[in-house]
Structure 1
Amino acid sequence: MARKKKVEEPNNENQNLEKPPPKKTKKKTYTIEEKGIILQNIFSLNHEVFSIKELEKLVPKKSNGVINSIQLKEVLDYCINENMVTCEKCGISNVYYNFPVLQERRDHELLKNQRILLETLKQQTMELNKEHEDTVNTKEQWIMDNETLIKIKEQESNLDFEIQKLEGLLNECDTDGLQNNIKVYKTNSNIIRDNIFALIGYIKTKMNLFYLGDNEFLRHLGIMDTEIELVNEYDN
């Protein structure tokens, strides 16, 4: 009679070993520049004036934890230094804001000034080319003024380089987008100005400065007359 082979039981020792825990996903880190853009966008979306205490409550939530209350001061200082956020003294404390309509106006003025500069440089280049042609056509004068010709060519080369830089900057500028944004912000500018004057009235009442006119109050805060005129300029 054949002897039955003993069936070996599977070794479950290895099966009972615990599996290693899954690796945690590495949390993304943000540079100070990226955090500055996030903070600027928070200001732009709200169109309000904030105190530091209000920002300490608002920013961690609106940034989804990217900027916590401890990091806020550092990011805020960066934005102020880069003209991304405006800080104004209000009594004994500071208030912070960023109204896109003001930034759009500054960008529009910068674009206009760059175009004027570009036209000026082109005119100067045409004049230098004319001088160069006149010098070359007169052989004797060209020989006598060889050093002057070299300087003129150097100036012409430098001007060509500056024109190329400005043309590249203008090509990168979304002029149509800027004009469309200006039209959109004009429709909201009156509301923003009303909010500004409402805030001025509130602060004057709290500080017993109601005897001051709105413009005089703004001058006491160190705001320039050109900026005051911009605030008073209602769009129809």
Structure 2
Amino acid sequence: MSKKRGLSAEEKRIRMLEIFHNSKDFFQLKELEKIAPKEKGITMQSVKEVIQSLVDDHLVDSEKIGTSIYFWSFPSKAKNVKKRKLNDLQSEVDDCAKKLKKTEDAIAHESVGREANDERTETLSMLEQLLKQEEGLKKELQKYRDSDPEYIAQLKTETEELKSAINRWTENIYTLKSYIKNKFQMENEAIDQAFGIPSDLDYIE
């Protein structure tokens, strides 16, 4: 004999709403924890969780009065929530329909002059072959890049620029060392040691 299946979360929500809608009354949590297991087969431990999910979905209202919290829901409440949800979904459907129509119009517009024919098929095939050929040539060219005069000239230019930058900073360091030496009467070795300047610092030819 198979074991009796427990109620799903949605079944619990439906049965809990029936308590409110059939009675059209106000309840405290402790009252629902007694009524729900007895009348609707909802375990007492899950009553609070079910109520909270219905409150979160605006299917059940709650209000703290004094030190007690009361819960209630009338049939019109669920109807209005469902109607509002239906309207929201309909708006989404309408938006999607508009976007779909716009996309279809764009496709139709872009498709003009691109109808399938022998000439178009042949042209696309030739284009594909040329693109593959171009890709192969690029790979082949990359192998010989180190021997490319333009590439070598570019490297020389970049090297000269780096050399100029290094010498410019070297000049700045010498100027700073001269200032420190005159201002604080320090020797070159002391300045180099204090600022981590290599003793063999020199210009690059």
Mark yes or no: TM-score above 0.5: no
Q: Rg bigger for which structure? A: 2
Give the TM-score, by structure 2 length: 0.44
More contact order relative to length (CA 8 Å, sep ≥ 6): 1
